[in-house]
Chain A
Amino acid sequence: MATTAATSGHHDTDTEHHHKLGFIRTYIFSTDHKMIAKQFLIVSLLFLLLGGLLAGLVRWQLGFPGQPIPFIGGLFSDTTAPGGIVLPEFYNALVTMHATFMIFFAIMPLLVGVWGNFLIPLQIGAPDMAFPRLNTASFWISVPAGFLMLASFFVDGGAAGAGWTAYAPLSANSEYSGVHMGQILWLVSLTILGFSSITGAVNYVTTVINMRAPGMTWFRLPLPVWALFITSWLLLLAIPILTGGLIMLLFDQTIGTGFFNAPTDGEPLLWQHIFWYFGHPEVYILILPAMGLVSEVISNRSRKPIFGYHAMVIAIASIAFLGWVVWGHHMFQSGMNPLLGTTFMISTIVIAVPSAIKTFNWMGTLWRGDIHFDAPMLHALAFVSMFVIGGLSGIFMASAPVDIYIHDTYFIVAHLHYVLFGGSLFGIFAGITFWFPKMFGRMMSPTLGKIHFWLTFVAYNAVFFPMHNLGLKGHMRRIYDPNQYEFLQPLQGLNTFITIAAFVLISSQLIFAVNFFWSMYAGEKAVQNPWKSNTLEWTAAGHPPGHGNFPGGTPRVHRGPYEYSSPKSTDDFLPQIVPPDRVLRPAVPHEPSPLVTGD
């Protein structure tokens, strides 16, 4: 993505670089974690856009089944949408590729690639990642993966159409799907992408363990770092499982092995076990970092210490741990032994507890706070309120008998989008709007930020909330034309409504794009610590800081990251870096609250 690097290359910062590096070393094959974070950011935002447009095509077919796509319908080939009429095989490819791009090429890098790179060294007081060159490799390995995935749209037979879950044997045998090369490219692309994730995760884990600044004890780590650290462990353990499965499936598809292919005595359920053994931790890979970002924003914008810091860390860890023993709930109806169903039902439903703990702690943080409704905070609050819906709707599926009915219906589609959009994506927006000044040296427009938020929030709910109702009427997911079923025909109006809302939702993102790129060049110049934050990244000079991050030497950490409104200080924040003897003490200390428990 040379163009991407060139785009991000234009916004100069006022920072002096320590070493004079050429254009290529600075902007393309940079080893600076902040530049790599920006590369991930730009590329994955483009994939987010692509994923959204693919969803738009899916929604067009569901909202207006069999009608030609307006305006751009003529651009499609005869094998995808002749005359603009989406074909079933193209629909399957759209559904598959929408999920694939969103999960693997948008949300995952937007959370892990961007924030892992940008925040970990800055928030722990490290000069860079532990392995800067490996970090460069991590980004550049993902680029060919993206190209291969994009290329699959243009090969004979079209892109993969067996769903992002690629259930064998549909994904293992081109005679069943009509897709051969597209499926191979899908498998190869994700295999390559796995290497990118693993190299990244190794780096994050090593950096957090070894490169924390003096005084940065484990329980003084900002919550984004905790979340990213635990997520990296999930990546390290989960991705190799996926890669193994992908290669087995690739062999089934190409050289005729029979791991998952029933006609050659394969075991289709084996794929599902492998996939979901990766796939459920993956679900948490997609939400835990967002939880970390949101915790930071909520604490900062409430000007109040995070409620139950230790409980938050334990909750993240227990979600990550329980995430390994619940994969079977994706397979309740798969024909798996029903006794296993009972076991998985109990482990699954228990995972609701740490999620509830996190939600209550966020609300506890807001309680008696001093809440500032800036764009990052609005997104973070949307995260909390939408995650509540996504979490609660999960309980329906966790109860295996109820799941019998709603499994593979739009109820699931609603649920997963409440977690992945309502959760992860609002978390990402909160993160981008919050750390934008640190990344680009300028503030994003607060007005555009709020317009974007409200349009997104309303349209998003209009799209996904009614999907619960569709599912409760028995509307299956991944069907090309629901009107083929008489009992689904009365739901067409609702489907059309959802589609129109989806177009509003997609269009609203234009405002974000304008705000993002306009602010990069013309936004108000950011001051050193615009959010009056305690964490180390805001004390490092420069937006972004130059090579080495902390030119004055490694910072020394004196306290936890969320000492907001401390009675020890006249100001309402107390940065981690300020030594105790330099704190400006107030003349009259605040009345201690009965709920205060320790420093």
Chain B
Amino acid sequence: MENWSWLLDQSASTVGPEIDRLYYWILWITGIVFVATEVTLVWFLVKYRHREGRKAEYIHGNTKVEIVWTAVPAVIVLWIALASRSLWAEIKDPAHIPPNSMRVLVTAKQFEWNVTYPGPDEELGTGDDFTVRNRLDIPMGRPTALLLQSEDVIHSFFVPLFRLKQDVVPGMDTHMWFEPTRTGVFPIGCAELCGIGHTRMRGTLTVHAAADYQTWVNEQLPAPPAPPAPPAP
């Protein structure tokens, strides 16, 4: 039965709890409206069901009521929109990417995520870059900024437990940033239909403790010569 839940799994990024809070706010508001509306509806149906001898009342409407039920939803939904605005900008506006972020290039192609790391010099597009297939490994305690590019069709980089998703469009640079709140291994999926192998276009995001991360990078370094340098962001 747990799969019928309206609760979200525990998030693992700094923006996760903020998105979740907004979600639960909307869930409460819509939930109350839902229950109130449906209960009223059923109550009306029972109370005003056809009975012999009773005639419906001849009512065409009421302007005051119309104004109230226009204004109240308007205020509520505008509040939701305003409450969403700053969080939206924080997550999506490239100007909000923290300056100390680790920069990583993700090149999507049918049906793989090729992740290019900046290497020890922290600069993309230099000789010490290395590329790993379908694996994004990041350290705790530091934001990561992804530059997303696609070689063929539109893909969508989706990390459910980070509550993050960004389409990857060929011919366009898109950006995404996040900071993990716990270590672990998290699934990455493709959320935009991208062809025959869409269902298999998956990867893993591993969050290492800061110290372990350096070990992981060092393990990758003696790997074969780096592929042609990608354009720097």
Contacts and interface: CB of A to CB of B under 8 A. Distances in A.
* Chains A and B touch each other in the complex, with CB atoms below 8 Å apart: yes
Interface of A: 88-89, 92, 95, 161-163, 167, 169-170, 173, 176-178, 262-263, 265-269, 302-305, 307-311, 333-335, 338-339, 341-342, 345-346, 349-350, 352-353, 356-357, 359-361, 363-364, 366-373, 381, 384-385, 388-389, 392-393, 395-396, 398-402, 404-405, 407-409, 466, 468-470, 472-474, 476-482, 484-487, 490-491, 493-494, 564-567, 572, 590, 593, 595-599
Contacts of B83: 399
A577 to B, nearest CB: 19
A476 B189 contact: yes
A367 B193 CA distance: 46
Contacts of B74: 350, 353
Question: Top 4 closest A-B pairs, CB basis?
Answer: A474-B160, A262-B170, A308-B61, A338-B92
B10 interface: no
B3 A494 contact: yes
B37 interface: yes
B171 interface: yes
Contacts of B198: 88, 92, 478-480
Given A311-B61, A399-B26, A478 B193 contact: yes
A361 B166 CA distance: 39
Nearest to B62: A595
A565 B165 contact: no
Interface string B9-38: 100000100110011001101100110011
Contacts of A479: 198-199
Contacts of A565: 55-58
Interface string B45-83: 100111100111111111101100110011001101101
B88 A401 contact: yes
Nearest to A269: B169
B172 interface: yes
Given A305-B60, A368-B59, 17 more contacts: A92-B195, A176-B195, A263-B170, A302-B48, A309-B60, A311-B70, A349-B80, A360-B69, A396-B26, A401-B15, A401-B88, A404-B19, A408-B156, A408-B192, A469-B4, A477-B191, A480-B199
Interface-centre pick from B19, B54, B60, B152 (highest chain A CB count, 10 A): B60
Contacts of A572: 55-56
A405 B189 CA distance: 12
B4 A494 contact: yes
Given A407-B191, A408-B192, A487-B187, A333 B167 contact: yes
Contacts of A307: 59-61
A523 B142 CA distance: 73
B189 A564 contact: no
Given A476-B190, A478-B193, A485-B189, A371 B49 contact: yes
Given A88-B199, A345-B84, A402 B23 contact: yes
B135 to A, nearest CB: 15
Interface in B148-180: 150, 152-154, 156, 158, 160-161, 163-172, 174
Contacts of B218: none
A249 to B, nearest CB: 14
A509 B98 CA distance: 55
A388 B37 contact: yes
B50 A596 contact: no
Contact of B163 (A262, A341, A405, A491): A405
B193 A170 contact: yes
Nearest to A335: B174
A590 B58 contact: yes
B175 to A, nearest CB: 9
Nearest to B185: A486
Contacts of A303: 55-56
Interface residues of B, number: 92
A270 to B, nearest CB: 11
Interface in B81-97: 81, 83-85, 87-89, 91-94
Contacts of B197: 88
B88 to A, nearest CB: 4
B88 A176 contact: no
12 contacts: A177-B195, A177-B196, A307-B59, A307-B60, A346-B81, A356-B73, A357-B73, A388-B37, A474-B9, A481-B199, A590-B58, A597-B61
Contact of B154 (A167, A468, A595): A167
A92 B4 contact: no
A469 B89 contact: no
Contacts of A161: 195
A517 B200 CA distance: 45
Nearest to A310: B61
B149 to A, nearest CB: 11
A22 B168 CA distance: 59
B202 interface: yes
A67 B231 CA distance: 45
Contact of B59 (A267, A407, A468, A595): A595
Contacts of B38: 385, 388
Interface string B127-139: 0000000000000
B193 A564 contact: no
B85 A408 contact: no
A335 B26 contact: no
Contacts of A407: 165, 191
Contacts of A262: 150, 152, 169-171
Contacts of B63: 597
B223 interface: no
B191 A476 contact: yes
Contacts of A360: 65, 69
B154 A404 contact: no
Given A268-B169, A346-B81, A392-B34, A404 B61 contact: no
A338 B93 contact: yes
Contacts of A263: 170
Contacts of A352: 73, 77
